Amino acid sequence: MIPPDPFDPEALRVEAVPSASSRLPRHRSREQFLKGPIPVRWLERAARPRGKSLALGLALWVEAGMKRSGIVTLSRAVRLRLGVGRNATTRSLRALEAASLVKVERHPGRAPRVTILAP
């Protein structure tokens, strides 16, 4: 009977290390992505107010890209995509309105309709 070989070549196998590349990561097929171009001035102005204004603004841009329209209905699902609660949404929409980045149509009992404006 031959004793088992103590040398295991599989133990020396090195996992493939992803190489660093100068290319930016791309979305996969059927995966959501942020459609641009988005004016940097718009992002800068959305980032100024405290709170979740930038996160809400990005959610609006994602939704606008998917709908291919500058007018978005701000549903609960859209808000929660980036973790923006109901009260934070109200404050953030007011901040984005004050910065003249969006125009909001509010109707009782319905989700607000938001129009994304040029900065």
Q: Is the C-alpha dihedral spanning 77, 81, 85, 91 positive or negative? A: negative
Domain count, the chain: 1
Task: Indicate whether 98 belongs to any domain.
Answer: yes
Task: Indicate whether 1 belongs to any domain.
Answer: no
Per-residue pLDDT at 84: 84
Q: What is the pLDDT of residues 45-93, one digit of tens each?
A: 999 998 899 999 999 998 999 899 999 999 988 888 778 888 999 999 9
Q: What is the pLDDT of residues 8-57, one digit of tens each?
A: 777 777 776 666 667 878 888 888 888 889 999 999 999 999 889 999 99
Task: Indicate whether 115 belongs to any domain.
Answer: no
Expressed as residue numbers, the domain containing 83 is: 35-108
Per-residue pLDDT at 115: 96
Q: What is the pLDDT of residues 59-71, one digit of tens each?
A: 999 899 989 999 9
Task: Indicate whether 44 belongs to any domain.
Answer: yes
Per-residue pLDDT at 1: 60
- 85 vs 113: which has the higher pLDDT: 113
Answer whether 0.85 is exceeded by the pTM: no
Task: Indicate whether 117 belongs to any domain.
Answer: no
111, 114, 91, 113: which is closest to 101 by C-alpha?
114
Per-residue pLDDT at 104: 96
Tokens representing 14 are 């090195």
Task: Indicate whether 95 belongs to any domain.
Answer: yes
Task: Indicate whether 47 belongs to any domain.
Answer: yes
Tokens representing 88 are 């934070």
Task: Indicate whether 22 belongs to any domain.
Answer: no
Residue 99 CA to residue 24 CA, distance in Å, equals 31
